[in-house]
Structures are given as structure tokens and as C-alpha cells.
Amino acid sequence: MTFDQLGLNEPLLQAIADMGFVTPSEIQEKAIPTLLEEDRDMVALAQTGTGKTAAFGFPLLQKIDASSKTTQGLIIAPTRELCLQITNEMKLYAKHVKGLRVVAVYGGANIQEQAREISKGAQIVVATPGRMQDMMRRGMVNITKLSYCVLDEADEMLNMGFYEDITTILADTPEDKLTWLFSATMPREVARIAKEFMVSPLEITVGSKNEGAKNVSHEFYVVHTRDRYQALKRLADANPAIFSVIFCRTKRDTQKVAELLIEDGYNAAALHGDLSQNQRDLVMKSFRGRQIQMLVATDVAARGIDVDDITHVINYQLPDEIETYTHRSGRTGRAGKTGTSMVIVTKSEMRKIKQLEKILGKKFEQKTIPDGKEITQVQLFHLANKINNTEVNHDIDSYLPAIEEVLEDLSKEELIKKVFSVEFTRFFNYYKKAKDLNQNAVAAFKEESGDTTRYFINVGRKDDFDWMKLKDFLKEKTGLGQDGIYRVDCKDSFSFFNTDTEHKEKVIALFEDFSLDGRRVSVEETQGGGGRDRKRGGGDRRRNDRRGGGDRRSSFKGGGDRGRRRNDDDRRGGGDRRRNSDDRSSEGGRRRNDSDRSSYRGSEGGEGRRRSSSEDRKPTRAERGGPRSPRRSSDSTPNSPFSGKRRRRS
């Protein structure tokens, strides 16, 4: 079917041709003829990005009397961004309709100027609920002769707390108006609006109710709570062409994650409610221009974002509501393209994945966090393809003789090795001693179930060990294999490691009378079993920094869970008290949203507790992960191997 078969008039078909539209989407094909032929209320359910604006926009424009300056149509949208987006699209649709004006009404702009624009004659007003209600109270807009009212993204508006605003607006509109409600999902609040303010509405559904976008695949990665940020970085590194929105639950988490990504060399920015409108506009302009590859956003701030070709949506933290996850994942996989929704979860959140699968009717594939070898390989092939696909700029020709002279002694093989060694060395050096985040997650699960034992061993870095060498040494000594030894934590003069509890007697017995280079090596179970790093018995009771004397601050204020087990990376006794740089961010202890209303929510283990006011400060560099690595340059090792230059955050 084509647009000229839907019953649209010539001015609208001409605008459609100008925009290059050829075939209507499913929601447009179902809604447009119905709205043109029948004067009745309608509820249309379709995913974000399926063309809902055109589905109600074209029928509305065709039914409006452009010769009258009376406001006849009102479109209500949840956010300023969506309000402006709808307004711009409606103006494009109406560019061949003589005399028709569309005016946007939203917060953050001069209300008097908006009122003047309406007074000049605006047949269609596109408004956010709060600003529209404000203008109604001040008598700046007259909607007594309204013929059509459109509620776009109704579920989002209600989820944002606009129920009373919407009901107040609808109560002041004529009873004989037609109401068209467009939504991605159908929660109880949307059904309630339909029941109270609509008359026998026709329901059109594209796909299934509350169904996720069809072109989006869903993946989840199980990590230890403190490894959440490291997992995010590895997912970004494993997808060099990533163009993504990363969702956090709070403004503070959003800002902090964005700052860490920027500091680590990623092209990232934050989008949340504490930014001024000018800052938000600059961020979105940079994101649309792909100067920003990773936009870290809250759910409220991200609503209304309509950016093409988003490759990934990353759920840094799962939302409270099922419907919110649907909207998040709907930011990718638009216009027939494929997209990926990634979820970073802890073991305690696994039940939420099961609930999402059941309600959305989608299978979530569990994947492991990529390791350094995988990431290095992906980055090298990405570079090879980038070089192969680069169009030659012949302005370089005049420089080639001098370049060839410098490289004349190199063979083709040597030249390739040198070119790719630049990229290879960055990633190899960064990840060669990086911890196995997947093993950390397994260890955390075993700790929770009591199936693991943690040991103290009196060797460390001063004995020429790092965590990898120590793990290899312990594997060889105990014969437990690659996965038998985990959570190896190497300090200056001592270390810790874990095994399954069933191997405890064997491990203790092996080290009862063992010497290394003439030095007696002892292994003891730590006090508290798998969770705490404190040696049993008398003698050397090394305490971590959170207890005893010395610096009593948390290893990461604002990021850790004060009621959780002490972090194994806290330094004990004397020596270096800095946190390991591999644990840059600990994401436990998030403040729960007060609007918990769903069985999908509930206890999230360490992530559900409220932090004290003393943790509201911004963490110092030392608390985030030790001294800052050198800035990216040709002869320095970056904080992160992510390819691309540092950009100043908008």
C-alpha cells in the first residue's frame, strides 16, 4: 500500500513526496484511513519509533479548517524535546496547507511570547501538560472550541506523574471533541484515561500490548555489584562503532557515570533534569551530530529523544517499571533496522529478567563480559575495516614522497605490524592484567549461597607476585584448574583468594608445611568466611581501612553500599591504601525510587539501600580508583583504550 491509497488530500501527498516517504508503516496504514473516515475516539498502541506522529498528524491536518484562526487541535506530549519534535514534523506535513499554523507550548521558554504566537492564530497547539495547564489558568489560551485532542506517548506522561494535569486539561475541553490516544503500552492509568474521557474508543494495536520492539535483541550480563562500571567499559570497547543511550535510575548516577566515561577517554555526556535547557540542547545537538557516542541519561530526560541509528541501549541499572524498560529498548531498532538492548545485572536482580521475559514475551540471552583478548581482536579488525573503507584524500599526495622515504626500509609485513601495534599495544597493556569480571560474578553468587571460602596467604607483590602470577601458582599447587581459584587479590606483603568450600580442607593441608625460596608460606581461612578479608585466630589481625585506626572513609563514598560486606580492595594495615584502578566505580547503594508500585520492583540486594547525607559529596580521584592516568597522547597509556579523542563534555 502507498500513501495515495489512504485517502489523504493533495497538499498532504505533496508534502509526503517532498519528504521522500513511500510506504506507510503499519500503524499509519491502520490509523490514517480510520481517522479520516470515522468521527470517533481512538486508542492506538504501537511501539516508539513506528511513525505514530504521522499516523495522527496527517488526519488531523486534513480535518482542520485552515481558514479559521481558532485553536481546533491540541496535541499533548510528555517532554519539551518531543513537543518540539512533533511541532517541527507537523510544520513539514502542513507546508503546502495555506494559512495553517502550528505553535509549540512548553516550559523553559517565555510564556508571554508563546501566548502571543497563539493569539496570532494557531489552529494546532502542541504542548507539554504543565505549561498548557499554566496557560489555561492565566487565560492565555482558548480551547473552548477544540475539535480534536491527541495524547501522544500517553503511558510516558502518566508514568512521569502528569495524570492530574491531563485530567484537568481534558475536563476543560468540549465534551463533543474527538480524543485520539497514542501509546506504546497500556498500563492501568492509560486505560483509566480512556474510560473516563473517551466514548467507545476504537482500539488499534500494532503487535501485542506491552510488547517490545520486534527488531531489538535483548542481552543481559551478570556482574558483581562493584564491577558494574568496568562491565560498561568493556561492552563499549567490544563494540567500537557503538552509538548508544545508557540509562541510569537517578540523576546523580547519570552524572557520575558520564564523568567517569569522559575521564576515561570516551565520547560521552550526561542528560538529566539538573541541566539547564541550554545545556540539554547542546548535549542533544552533539549527540545527533554523533560527536557523542554514549549518552548517559535518566528515563525522564530521555523521553522524547528521537535519534536515528542508535545501535545499543544499555541498561546500566534496571528501571522500576516494566513499561519503562519497553520505552528504553524502543530507542533502538527503529525504521526496520536492528538494535540491541543490553542489561547489566547482579545475581539478586535475575528475577527481574525472568519477569521481563514473561511480560514482554521476549527471550533475554545471557552473555559473558568480553575479556581483553576478545576486545583487542574486535578493535584490531575494526581498525582494519576502517582503513580498508577509508576514501583516499589526494591532498596527501604531496606529502607521500617524504613519508615513503621515512618508511622505505620497511617491508609490507613490517609496516602492517607497526601500524596495528599502535592499537594492539594500547588494548593489550590495558587488559593484560584486568580481572575476570565473569568470575567475580560467580564468586559473588557463591558467597551469597555460602559455597565459597576465602583464604589469607602471606605472599604478595613484594614476593614478585601479581594477581595473575599468584593465581597460576595456586592453580599449579592445588591442582584445582582454571576456575577453581578465583577472586585473587594481591597486596604488598599478603594476598587473598577463594575456592569452593568443598576444597577447604585440601587447600589448608597443602600449605601446612610449605616453603617458597626458603620462606615458609602459610594459608589460613579468613574470619567471616567468603565475605571478609580478616585472618582467623591470634597474631596478625589485619583490618581493612573501614575498621580500626587510620583512614576510616569508605573506599568509594557515593558509590558503595555502607551496609554491605567490606570491599576486598580496601587496603589493610600499612602501605598503599589506594583502591585498585580496575575497580573505578562501585555501583551499589542506589537510592530507591519512592514511587515503587510494581511487583517487578522490590529488594535489589545491596542496590536498594538509602545512603547517608555524608555520601552525597562527589568522590575524590583517589576514592574512585587511585591516581589519574596520564592524558591520552601518542606516547602515553590512556586511562581507557577506547579509540577516539577526548571531547569536552557539552
- Give domain limits for the chain: 3-205, 216-372, 374-419
Reported as a single tens digit per residue, the pLDDT across 404-449 is 999 989 999 999 999 889 888 888 888 877 777 877 666 666 666 6
Q: Which pLDDT belongs to residue 117?
A: 93
At residue 151, the 3 state secondary structure works out as strand
Residue 514 has pLDDT above 50, yes or no: yes
Identity at 238, one-letter amino acid code: A
Rounded Cα–Cα distance for residues 202 and 573 (Å): 71
CB 450 within 8 A of CB 530: yes
Query: What CATH topology corresponds to 216-372?
Result: Rossmann fold (3.40.50)
pLDDT cut 90: percent of the chain above it? 40
Reported as a single tens digit per residue, the pLDDT across 75-131 is 999 888 889 889 999 999 999 999 999 999 998 889 999 999 999 999 999 999 999
Average the pLDDT over each of 360-364, 570-574, 618-622 and give the range with the smallest value.
570-574
Q: Which of 466, 397, 473 is nearest to 434 (CA)?
A: 466
Residue 459 has pLDDT above 90, yes or no: yes
Total Cβ atoms within 10 A of residue 644: 11
CB 134 within 8 A of CB 105: no
Q: Which of 443, 450, 486 is nearest to 346 (CA)?
A: 443
Average pLDDT of the segment spanning 378-405: 91
Q: Which pLDDT belongs to residue 445?
A: 64
Residue 37 has pLDDT above 60, yes or no: yes
Bridge partners (DSSP) of residue 559 are none
Residue 52 has pLDDT above 60, yes or no: yes
> Residue 269: in which H helix or E strand, if any?
strand 268-271
CB 115 within 8 A of CB 34: no
CA distances to 54, 103, 395 from 398, in Å = 52, 55, 7
Q: Which pLDDT belongs to residue 101?
A: 94
Q: Which of 125, 196, 129 is nearest to 156 (CA)?
A: 129
HEC letters along 398-439: HHHHHHHHHHCCCCHHHHHHHHHHHHHHHHHHHHCCCCCHHH
Question: Which comes out higher in pLDDT, residue 437 or 231?
Answer: 231
Q: Which pLDDT belongs to residue 467?
A: 83
Q: Which residue carries 594481591 as its cell?
A: 490
Q: Which of 550, 540, 538 is nearest to 575 (CA)?
A: 550
Cβ contacts of 334 within 8 Å, gap of 6 or more: 48, 49, 50, 213, 215, 308, 310
Question: Helical H runs in 322-363?
Answer: 322-329, 350-360
* Residue 105 CA, distance from chain mean position: 29
Average pLDDT of the segment spanning 167-183: 91
Average pLDDT of the segment spanning 295-307: 82
Residue 557 has pLDDT above 50, yes or no: no
Question: Which comes out higher in pLDDT, residue 507 or 638?
Answer: 507
Q: Which pLDDT belongs to residue 257?
A: 96
Residue 394 has pLDDT above 80, yes or no: yes
- Dihedral class, residue 544 (left if φ above 0, else alpha if ψ from -120 to 50, else beta): beta
Phi and psi torsions of 433, nearest 5°: -115, 15
Q: Which pLDDT belongs to residue 209?
A: 53
Average pLDDT of the segment spanning 282-291: 91
DSSP state of 247: E
Mean pLDDT of the chain: 79
Q: Which pLDDT belongs to residue 162?
A: 85
Residue 518: how many CA atoms within 13 Å on its side-chain side? 0
Q: Which pLDDT belongs to residue 149?
A: 95
Q: Which of 542, 368, 551 is nearest to 442 (CA)?
A: 368
Average pLDDT of the segment spanning 144-153: 92
Average pLDDT of the segment spanning 241-260: 94
At residue 500, the 3 state secondary structure works out as strand
Identity at 198, one-letter amino acid code: M
Nine-digit cell string for 20:
521522500
HEC letters along 579-597: CCCCCCCCCCCCCCCCCCC
Q: pTM value? A: 0.57
Q: Which pLDDT belongs to residue 517?
A: 84
Q: Which of 446, 537, 511, 464 is nearest to 224 (CA)?
A: 446
Q: Which pLDDT belongs to residue 9?
A: 92
Give the CA angle between residues 330, 156, 218 to the nearest 5°: 25
Per-residue confidence band for 351, with pLDDT thresholds at 50, 70 and 90: confident
Rounded Cα–Cα distance for residues 476 and 123 (Å): 79
Relative orientation angle of helices 350-360 and 322-329, to the nearest 10 degrees = 80
Residue 650 has pLDDT above 50, yes or no: no
DSSP state of 286: H
Domain spanning 3-205, CATH class? alpha beta
**80-96 burial, b for 16+ CB within 10 Å, e for fewer?**
bbbbbbbbebbbebbeb
Residue 345 has pLDDT above 60, yes or no: yes
Residue 563 has pLDDT above 80, yes or no: no
Nine-digit cell string for 641:
583504550
Reported as a single tens digit per residue, the pLDDT across 575-588 is 443 334 344 443 44
Rounded Cα–Cα distance for residues 200 and 370 (Å): 53
Q: Is 388 exposed, middle or buried (0-12, 13-18, 19+ CB in 10 A)?
A: exposed
Phi and psi torsions of 451, nearest 5°: -100, 15
Rounded Cα–Cα distance for residues 329 and 342 (Å): 9
Rounded Cα–Cα distance for residues 43 and 152 (Å): 10
Phi and psi torsions of 225, nearest 5°: -50, -45
Q: Establish whether domains 3-205 and 216-372 are of one fold.
A: yes
Q: Which pLDDT belongs to residue 582?
A: 40
Number of helical (H) and strand (E) elements in the chain, helices listed first: 22, 20
**447-485 burial, b for 16+ CB within 10 Å, e for fewer?**
beeeebbbbbbbbbbebebebeebbebbbebbebeeebb
Rounded Cα–Cα distance for residues 34 and 43 (Å): 12
Q: Which residue carries 493569539 as its cell?
A: 119
Pairing of strands 294-297, 268-271: parallel
Identity at 61, one-letter amino acid code: L
Nine-digit cell string for 56:
495522527
Reported as a single tens digit per residue, the pLDDT across 601-635 is 443 433 433 334 333 444 444 444 443 333 333 33
Phi and psi torsions of 583, nearest 5°: -110, 65
Pairing of strands 486-490, 495-500: antiparallel
Q: Which pLDDT belongs to residue 234?
A: 94
